Amino acid sequence: MNGKPRIGVYVCHCGTNIAGTVDVEEVVRFAQTIPDVTVARNYSYMCSDPGQALIVDDIEKMGLNRVVVASCSPRMHELTFRKTLNGAGLNPYFLEMANIREQCSWVHEDSIAATEKSKRIIEAAVVKARRLEALDQKEVDVEPATLIIGAGIAGIQAALDIADAGFKVYLVEKSPTVGGHMAQLDKTFPTLDCSACILTPKMVDVANHPNIELMTYSKVEDISGYVGNFDIKVRKKTRYVDVSKCTGCGDCASACRQAGRFANEFDEGMGMRGAIYLPFPQAVPAKYTVDKESCLFLSKGKCGETPKCLEACQPKAINFELEDEIVDFKVGTIIVATGFDVFDATLKPEYAYGVYDNVVTALEFERMVNASGPTGGKVVMLERGKKKKKKKEGEEEEAPKVPESVTFIQCVGSRDKSVGNEYCSRVCCMYTAKLAHLVRDKAPDAEVTVFYMDVRAFGKGFEEFYDRVRREGVRYIRGNPSEIYRKNGKLIVRAEDTLTSTPLEHETDMVVLSVGLCPRTDTRDVIDLLKLSQSSDLFYLEAHPKLRPVDTASDGVYLAGVCQGPKDIPDAVAQAKGAASAAMIPMASGKVKVEAQTSIVDETTCRGCGFCVEVCPYTAIELVEINRMGWHVKAARVNEALCKGCGACAAACLSGSIQQRSFKDLQLLPQIQALGVK
Amino acid sequence: MVDITKLRDIAKEVISRDDVRQVIGYRPGTYGFRARPAFVLEPADADELIFSPACINNLATYIVIEEKLPVPRGQEPDSRKVAVMVKGCDSRAIIQQLEEKAYDRDHVLVLGIPCEGVVDMDKVNARFPNVDKGDIALEGDKFVISFNGTKEEVAKDELLADKCKRCRYPTPLVSDEMLGDEVERFADDDFSDVEVLEKKSRDEKWAYWEEKFSRCARCYACRNACPMCYCEDCVLTRLEPMWMRRSVDISENTAYHIARAYHLAGRCIQCGACEQACPMDIPLMDLNRKFYKDVRELFDYEPGTDAEQPPLLSTFSVDDREDFIL
Amino acid sequence: MAVKKLSKDKVGEALKELMKFRLVAPAKSDDVVIFKQISDPAEAYLDYGNSAVPPKKMVFPQTETLFRFVTGEPELKEKNVEEEGQTVIFGMRPCDARAMSIVDKLFDWDFDDPYYQKRRAMTTYVGMACTEPPSVNCFCTSVGGSPFSTEGLDVMLTDMGDYYAVQALNEKGEKLTETIASQLEDGGDEKKIEEMAAAAAGKIKRSIKTDGISEKIPTLWDSDVWKKVSASCLGCGTCTFLCPTCHCFDIQDEVEEMGEGRRCRMWDSCMFSEYTLHASGHNPRPSRKERTRNRVSHKYSYFPSKFDDIACVGCGRCINMCPVNIDILDILEQVVEA
Amino acid sequence: MAEATKTAEATKTDFEPNIVAFLCNWCSYAGADLAGTSRIQYPPNVRVIRVMCSGRVNPLFIMNALQQGADGVLISGCHPGDCHYMQGNYFARRRFNLMRNFLEYVGIEPERVRMSWVSASEGAKWKGVIEEVVEGIKSVGPMDSFKRRQLNW
Ligand SMILES: Cc1cc2nc3c(=O)[nH]c(=O)nc-3n(C[C@H](O)[C@H](O)[C@H](O)COP(=O)(O)OP(=O)(O)OC[C@H]3O[C@@H](n4cnc5c(N)ncnc54)[C@H](O)[C@@H]3O)c2cc1C
Ligand SMILES: Cc1cc2nc3c(=O)[nH]c(=O)nc-3n(C[C@H](O)[C@H](O)[C@H](O)COP(=O)(O)OP(=O)(O)OC[C@H]3O[C@@H](n4cnc5c(N)ncnc54)[C@H](O)[C@@H]3O)c2cc1C
Ligand code: SF4
Ligand code: SF4
Ligand code: SF4
Ligand code: SF4
Ligand code: SF4
Ligand code: SF4
């Protein structure tokens, strides 16, 4: 809108809410004296239909091009009056509100002071209105597809929900199988259902769902764009196995020259695998993978005369010529569900993890108690690193020793400033109780002791479960052990019982360290892809800790599961369902509104310093090369679809080149002047 | 000590390279004890080059103030390197300019001059007034001043520029070629000068600054001389929006000085060029140094020491002080 | 007219008497000397070299309101210069006084500038001869002045040791000396003044030949010399801002949000990058090269060709104050050689 | 107490300071609104400029407000960690930290330049902040050191 500003000022009585304190007539008289004010009126309720009609009428008859409504807070009725302007054919951003109710008549009894203050507030609104500009309220279309990174229980659940709703899902998992940590667990607290029983059907669903494109053994390499329109590039690493041919029979694995020589990651290194392997029998997809590092043919170029696997594979699925595949696709929303790593217990050297065979982590112990795990579900003493004696044909294998006592230590790597983790991992108390119970179950003669700081049994059925375990004879000692050492073939846990303040030395056969949940070591990769922020605990930061716990600062990007912070399976699933429905909102509506009060750069004065780029929490600004009279110079450019209109960039820019629409220096400085003068 | 023959030889070699457009150094001045900037465009020009304690200007400014005049259609701008001689302090300007992406690192060829300190010309002139032609050299801890056939020695401390008295980086922090041996740090900065002002009472402070600010001619020399002030269009003189009026009075002048100093917060590299340029003797460094001190003490940040560090005010720490917040 | 004596111990009394006018004298602010209105003789600092800002600013203020207005209303309220009253500038240097007569020419040339004219008429210039040249870079003798030049002055003072020799140079001067007649004695030594003048002129160390310069400069429009002499210029404007003959100004409006405003003019400098910058973004003097050329041409060619006078009085300020030692004499030398 | 100081004291407390406040839309502006809906009474000396985020506040606004005649300036934002835009208040805090120190250094009382964290639910805190700010500014008197002279000749 060009030409001289013609401003209408509308002072609302709000019944007696305003008029009872503020001399409305006097304020109107004053408003008429402000330069560029074409008309000033007052009315009992501006937000009522007749009140709004007054504005519409003046716009049409008097050619107003700016409107100031002096009434309640803009947080109350800004939208109402924007619509009014819009209805009258005026750009809705030509509205400025003067809050003379919440911040004037309601908080000051002195009528004279309140009237004076109202005048100042209105004057400031008028001088700003004079410089308001028309803004575009843009909308962008949303691609009805979601990318989910990570196929643990959280990623799986979200994928199923979204796919069931009819949207396309690309589920990208970096390991050869879906399932994440939950697949490693035996039973789950507090109900003790079997993890595999409830998880595997979902794993299978995910692989078969017509709306889900599952990409395991894959990595997201690039993400660009913004909500509604993300461009994704994924690298599908080759398995050297043609998955369309592999039947999952496993003949190759038994034939492999390297069979049983490498620690199986899935078993936390307690079980062994060959160069071609399936992480665990129920892995999804049930397709074998050649590990490049351990394969003789791939690493040394030669595996006997011909690789044995090639011979063994009937459908001829194995092919060492296969290469990584890059796929590109578009999605409208993204869910990050990359889970966690367990705490690296070697960072607490006092617990001698890695030194003594029978100091194990809880995750290793999960594998041990798991019926399909390396010990077939038996709780036994370990002899790690010791080469298994080749057993002669028919020779009875020496039965492994069952520990006479198992001791758990809680909070290993959690609530511990010395390792930089101040937070509580939220699952260790309960899984310790669960594992303690399982020991009672599987090795009933073993004595079970738990060292703890506090027991946090906050969830549904948790306290009851903890109570049950204690009643089963598990001994809880309050105190953080300070050292573990070996004496006479036994492990000695040195601690202090803090309830009785007595130092003690506890003798045991096996120590289980209840390691906490930590951010993934490769967190940075995802951060670089999506520019996510981290909270101080280094888990991904949600947009708001209470009210937007699944959203991130970037529109269209959501969090699910432990990647956002430690949680158990029910919470991970709940959040996954939340993230799924959040991701579906823009897809269901098909369009997203883009903030109108975004920032804009004056490329002729921008010095390309990038201060604004650094400040923007939404990475909405980038430096681009422009041609300034033949010179190739850098200048900032705002991606309006990403900008949320906070204005932080405008305050960071020294040359004043980037300005936030509706809050430009040019608009705020006069306001300051109007308020400052008197 | 910088070997002048070596300095000229290197300059000659550098200017002979195809990818170098000019070498910026120093040459003798036109009067008194002064030295002035030299722009070497061909090898012969290098014979004028010198380095002495009179070489007070910060040549890094020239890298950023050159006008980018319209390039005729079909032509490409001259993209050859600019070689520039920098002392320790000046080198920090380059680092800070790089931090602010003023140009790419390979746009400049930095010739580092390990520096044992330069003089404060005002002090020299006060001591040896109205000398039409003279020389200054540093020998050990003495400046040797020669003019009209006489030679006088003055203790280094008496004529040394204040900034050098607290210089922590006498050897350039960035350079492609070093023109001398590393100089060991000979001073440290305890900010006692700032503290003196901080300790004044409220009224004394204002009285102090009122006198200075009202004297300011608003000539903007301080801004133009500063290697960090190179905005195409400085907001301090912009008409729309008008942050401060061009009129000269205590109000606008104060606003100017607050704004200028704030714009240099976390960016000022303490070269003193602004103060040296000011014809009205406004102690601009007193302003710059307050920010410099706070920035270091509150945020452990030192501008112009690491081109990779993010700009001070575009970052934060969750632990930043907030005891003043209600 | 006979030379009078003003004994140094009576200077204070004399200044007091002059205070019935607006009395402007050199004063110290820290170590900087500036001209300002004084209200106590002790403020005057007469034993000075030269001021940083020339006394020109008392007649041609750095910021000057021309008129006030209310946006949208036709009436203007013009500044009444007369209200400022009679002014005496006390103790100005001969070069700065000569500069005033140069600036005079500009302000009553194609347009009689009422503000300047009125103020000029109300001001009496009391000079102070340079018995010692204030700086090494003084070169007044090369551009038509001298340390004892009385051009542009109404009264001249000469420091004779224990007294000032006082010479009224015209009617205005005589009127002024009458005001302080009670402090004056007879018997100033005119002869000695002449000797001193010669001696002082001999102490000027720097010089330049100006013959033919004004004609030569326009022939150098496209010469490389400008690029060369301006290479180190910072564009800071100090040289012109503090020059006693520079007279460029800009006109700006200062408007309050409620519509009241004033139009004022303020010093400008041809060395500023926004000087002659058009609203379109075009600038006929886009770089320091053109600006330097303009500065030198204006002083040594355009002005002389119009007014027969070089617009430079040789005060040496631009040389002394230039942070990068750009030296007008050096430039002129190169121009002559080019 | 000397007579002169007495009157100085008197004018200091009699005078009604004019304070310009910059409030972020999401927390402090909402907090001030809440004070209104709760009819919490506080002194009328504060005039508010609404910005979307305290991170928008250029510290030069403070200088500008003081120059334009404000006796004091208040910037208020969300508590750390609660910023609607996640980080804006941290930037504001850092910038303000420096500016406030600097203004004090040139002789402008720190009582005039204040910052607060007020959340959307802290209507009562808002009142407390206003009272404290007004009190503080009254104790140092009108700001006239470098106030702009309105259109002087
Ligand atoms: C010892 C132990 C016992 C536990 N016991 C119980 C219990 O009894 N009951 C209970 O409720 N909870 C229990 N938990 C917690 C439970 O394991 C977690 O709540 C749950 O696994 C979280 O699932 P998730 O999907 O968030 O993460 P994860 O299971 O870690 O899944 C993340 C998935 O993302 C993949 N991924 C990671 N990064 C990328 C990437 N960049 N690209 C692609 N894919 C990636 C990973 O490979 C993984 O498959 C236990 C935890 C531990 C450590
Ligand atoms: C003292 C206290 C302090 C707390 N502090 C915190 C804290 O600091 N941080 C935090 O995160 N959480 C806190 N909480 C927990 C927090 O209050 C709850 O998590 C949250 O309020 C739960 O919201 P809700 O909607 O589930 O339930 P509610 O808030 O209870 O809402 C349920 C609504 O349903 C209505 N309703 C019930 N039955 C019917 C019916 N049959 N028909 C129609 N309407 C019905 C009720 O009237 C009510 O409005 C606190 C709780 C307490 C008690
Ligand atoms: S207004 Fe905020 S979100 Fe938008 S570009 Fe600026 S800093 Fe980024
Ligand atoms: S901060 Fe300003 S000058 Fe720097 S890049 Fe951003 S817009 Fe350009
Ligand atoms: S402000 Fe002064 S000291 Fe700081 S960088 Fe600029 S010129 Fe150098
Ligand atoms: S003062 Fe600020 S805006 Fe002006 S040139 Fe310096 S940094 Fe740029
Ligand atoms: S150089 Fe000096 S006089 Fe000129 S604007 Fe800067 S401080 Fe003022
Ligand atoms: S004083 Fe020197 S550097 Fe400044 S504009 Fe004049 S010539 Fe250029």
Domain range summary for chain A, segments of one domain joined by +: 7-130, 145-237+324-339+526-591, 251-312, 342-383+399-518, 599-661
User: To 5 degrees, how large is the angle CA D41–CA D42–CA D46?
Assistant: 140
Torsion on CA atoms A369, A371, A372, A377, rounded to nearest 10: 40
User: Do both C111 and C35 map to the same domain?
Assistant: yes
In sequence order, which residues have a C-beta less than 8 Å from that of residue A429 and are 6 or more positions away? Answer: A410, A452, A455, A456, A457, A466, A514
Identify the pLDDT of residue B137: 93
Q: What is the band of C285 on the pLDDT scale with cuts at 50, 70, 90?
A: confident
Instruction: Name the residue facing D129 among B249, B257, B326 (closest C-beta).
Output: B326
Q: Which two tokens stand for residue B218?
A: 């608003």
Q: What is the mean pLDDT of residues B124-128?
A: 92
Give the residue from C333, C232, C332, C288 showing the smallest Cα distance to B39.
Answer: C232
Residue C212's contacts (CB-CB under 8 Å, 6 or more residues apart) are: none
Domain identity same for C21 and C150: yes
Task: Work out the average pLDDT over C51-69.
Answer: 89
The stretch A549-553 carries a mean pLDDT of 88
- Note whether C245 and C275 are within 8 A (CB): no
Torsion from C-alpha of A496, A500, A501, A504, nearest 10 degrees: -30
- pLDDT for the residue numbered A177: 95
Cβ contact A130:A171 at 8 Å: no
Q: How many domains does one find in chain C? A: 2
Chain-centre distance for alpha carbon A35: 52
Percentage, residues of chain A above pLDDT 70: 97
Dihedral over alpha carbons A6, A7, A8, A13 (to 10 degrees)? -170
Span of A381-385, A481-485, B188-192, B298-302 with lowest mean pLDDT: A381-385
Residue range D111-151, pLDDT digits in tens: 999 999 998 888 889 999 999 999 999 999 998 888 887 65
**Dihedral of the alpha carbons of C146, C152, C154, C160, in degrees to the nearest 10:** -10
Last-in-domain residue among C181, C202, C223: C202
Average pLDDT over residues D1-6: 46
Q: Of the residues C180, C202, C224, which one is the last residue of a structural domain?
A: C202
Of residues A541 and A185, which shows the higher confidence score? A185
A443 touches chain C (CB under 8 A): no
Distant-in-sequence, close-in-space partners of A618: CB < 8 Å, separation ≥ 6 = A553, A554, A642, A643, A644, D85
Q: Using CA atoms, how far apart are residues A67 and A95, in angstroms rounded to an integer?
A: 5
The DSSP call for residue B185 is: P
Q: Indicate if ligand 1 lies below 6 Å from the C-beta of A185.
A: yes
The predicted structure's pLDDT at residue D151: 59
Exposed (0-12), middle (13-18) or buried (19+): which is B229, by Cβ within 10 Å? buried
- Shared-domain flag, residues C69 and C26: yes
Identify which of A474, A476, A480 has the alpha carbon closest to the alpha carbon of residue A495: A480
Ligand 6 centroid–CA A413 distance in Å is 49
Query: What tokens does A614 get?
Result: 């650094």
Stretch A542-547: mean pLDDT: 81
Average pLDDT (C156-176) is: 93
> Could you give the CA distance from residue C58 to residue C84 in angstroms, rounded to a whole number?
11
Number of Cβ atoms within 10 Å of the Cβ of D106: 23
D6: number of Cβ within 10 Å? 9
pLDDT-above-90 percentage for chain D: 63
- Ligand 7 centroid distance, CA of B190 (Å): 27
Say whether A75 and D56 touch across the interface (CB within 8 A): no
Q: What's the mean pLDDT in A604-618?
A: 92
Within 10 angstroms of residue A678's Cβ, the number of other Cβ atoms is: 13
Question: Does residue D1 carry a pLDDT above 50?
Answer: no
| The pair of three-digit structure tokens given for residue A502, joined into one six-digit string | 């007595």
List pLDDT tens digits, range C230-243: 899 998 888 888 99
Question: Chain D residues with CB inside 8 Å of C256's CB?
Answer: 150-151
Residues 39-98 of D with CB under 8 A from B: 59-60, 63-64, 67, 80-81, 87, 90-91, 93-95, 97-98
- pLDDT above 90 for B86: yes
Q: Averaged over A26-49, what is the pLDDT?
A: 93
* pLDDT reading at B270 higher than 70: yes
Report the distance separating Cα A268 and Cα A366, nearest Å: 9
How far, in Å, CA of C311 to CA of C214, rounded?
A: 11
Return the pLDDT at D3. 46
- C241 and C178 in a common domain: no
In a domain, D1, yes or no: no
DSSP letters spanning A254-322:
HH-TTTT-EE-GGGTTSSEE-SEE-SSTT-SS---EE-TTT-HHHHHS--SSS-HHHHH-TT--B-TT-
Task: Please indicate, yes or no, if residue C42 is contained in any of the structural domains.
Answer: yes
d(CA C244, CA C29): 20
* Whether pLDDT at D7 is above 70: no
> Torsions phi, psi of A222, nearest 5?
-155, 140
Scanning chain B, the segments in alpha helix (DSSP H) are: 4-16, 61-65, 88-99, 121-127, 156-159, 162-165, 192-198, 202-215, 221-225, 250-263, 273-277, 284-299
For residue C328, count CB atoms less than 10 angstroms from its CB and return exposed for 0-12, middle for 13-18, buried for 19 or more.
buried
**Per CATH, domain A599-661 is 3.40.50.970:** no
pLDDT given at position C261: 87
Identity of the residue numbered B60: A
Q: How far is the CA of B287 from the centre of ligand 7 (A)?
A: 13
A317-326, B109-118, C260-269: range with lowest mean pLDDT: C260-269
Q: Residues of A146-162 as b/e, b for ≥16 C-beta within 10 angstroms?
A: bbbbbbbbbbbbbbbbb
Is residue A340 within 8 A of residue A519, CB to CB? The reply is yes
What confidence score (pLDDT) does residue A246 get?
A: 93
Show the tokens assigned to A677: 């003068």
DSSP A105-120: ITT---HHHHHHHHHH
Model pLDDT, residue D6: 47
Torsion sign, CA atoms A586, A588, A591, A597: negative
With contacts defined as CB-CB under 8 Å, which chain A residues touch C256?
A: 673, 677
Domains A145-237+324-339+526-591 and A342-383+399-518 share a fold: yes
Mean pLDDT confidence for A30-42: 93
Q: What pLDDT, on a 0 to 100 scale, did the predictor assign at position A317? A: 94
Residue C132 one-letter amino acid: E
Answer whether A654 touches B (CB < 8 Å): yes
Q: How far is the CA of A615 from the centre of ligand 4 (A)?
A: 11
Flag whether D9 is in a domain: no
Contacts for A4 with CB less than 8 Å, ≥ 6 apart: A36
> How confident is the model at residue A391, as a pLDDT?
52
Contacts of A632 in chain B (CB under 8 A): 77
User: Percent of chain B beyond pLDDT 90?
Assistant: 76
Q: Which residues constitute the domain of residue C181?
A: 4-202
Per-residue pLDDT tens digits for C81-118: 888 889 999 999 999 999 999 988 888 877 888 888 89
Q: Which fold has domain A342-383+399-518?
A: FAD/NAD(P)-binding domain (3.50.50)
End-to-end distance of chain C based on CA atoms, in angstroms? Answer: 48
Query: Any idea what the CATH number is for the domain that residue D81 is in?
Result: 3.40.50.960
Enter the tokens of residue C262.
């004033």
**Mean pLDDT of all residues belonging to chain B:** 92
pLDDT at D4: 46
CB atoms within 10 A of CB C47: 10
Pick the CATH number of A145-237+324-339+526-591 from 3.30.2010.10, 3.50.50.60, 3.30.559.10, 3.40.190.10: 3.50.50.60
Nearest 5°: phi and psi at A538? 75, 0
Is the distance from CB of A94 to CB of A129 less than 8 angstroms? yes
Which three-class secondary structure string do you get for B207-272? Answer: HHHHHHHHHCCCCCHHHHHCCCCCCCCCHHHCCCCCCCCCCCCHHHHHHHHHHHHHHCCCCCCCCC
C-alpha pair distances (Å), A544 with each of A553, A598, C82, D25, D83: 9, 21, 67, 16, 9
Residue A386 has pLDDT above 70, yes or no: no
CA dist A147 and A529 (Å) reads 13
- Chain C residues with CB inside 8 Å of D151's CB? 65, 68, 254, 256, 260-262
pLDDT digits (tens, 9 = 90+) for A173-230: 999 999 999 999 999 998 999 998 999 999 999 999 999 999 999 999 999 888 899 9
Q: Is D151 on the interface with C (CB under 8 A)?
A: yes
Q: Which residues of B258-281 are buried (b: 16+ CB within 10 A; e: fewer)?
A: bbbbbbbbbbbbbbbbbbbbbbbe
For chain C, the average pLDDT equals: 88
Using an 8 Å Cβ cutoff, are A506 and A478 in contact?
no
The stretch A592-616 carries a mean pLDDT of 92
Q: Is there a domain that residue D11 lies in?
A: no
For D22, the domain range is 17-140
Confidence of residue C266 (pLDDT cuts 50, 70, 90): confident
**Cα A117 from Cα A111, distance rounded (Å):** 10
Instruction: Give the C-alpha separation, C60 to C42, whole Å.
Output: 26
One-letter identity of residue C308: D
Look at residue D109 and tell me if it is in a domain.
Answer: yes
Whether C177 and C223 share a structural domain: no
Q: Does C274 score more than 80 pLDDT? A: no
What's the pLDDT at B135? 93
d(CA A220, CA A232): 7
Residue C286, pLDDT above cutoff 80 = no
- Per the CB < 8 Å rule, is B243 touching A604? no
**Residue A108 in tokens:** 């000051």
Please judge whether A652 and B230 are an interchain contact, meaning their C-beta atoms are less than 8 angstroms apart.
no
Mean pLDDT (chain A, rounded) = 92
| The two three-digit tokens of residue A245, written as one number | 């041919």
Lowest mean pLDDT among A35-39, A521-525, C281-285: C281-285
CB contact under 8 A, D115 and B326: yes
Taking the Cβ of residue C258 and every Cβ of chain A, the question of whether any pair is shorter than 8 Å is answered with: yes
Asked if residue A543 lies in contact with residue D86, where contact means CB atoms within 8 angstroms, the answer is: yes
Residue C24 has pLDDT above 80, yes or no: yes
pLDDT on residue A455: 94
What CA–CA distance (Å, rounded) separates A657 from A602? 5
Into how many domains does chain D fold?
1
Distance D57 CA to ligand 7 centre (A): 27
C234 CA closest ligand 8 atom index: 3
The class that CATH gives domain A7-130 is alpha beta
B76 touches chain A (CB under 8 A): yes
d(CA C223, CA A240): 73
Could you read off the pLDDT of A351-370 as tens digits, one per residue?
Answer: 999 999 999 999 999 999 99
Residue B269 pLDDT greater than 50, yes or no:
yes
Query: Which DSSP letter does residue A238 get?
Result: -
Q: Which two tokens stand for residue A170?
A: 């690309």
Flag whether pLDDT at D83 surpasses 70: yes
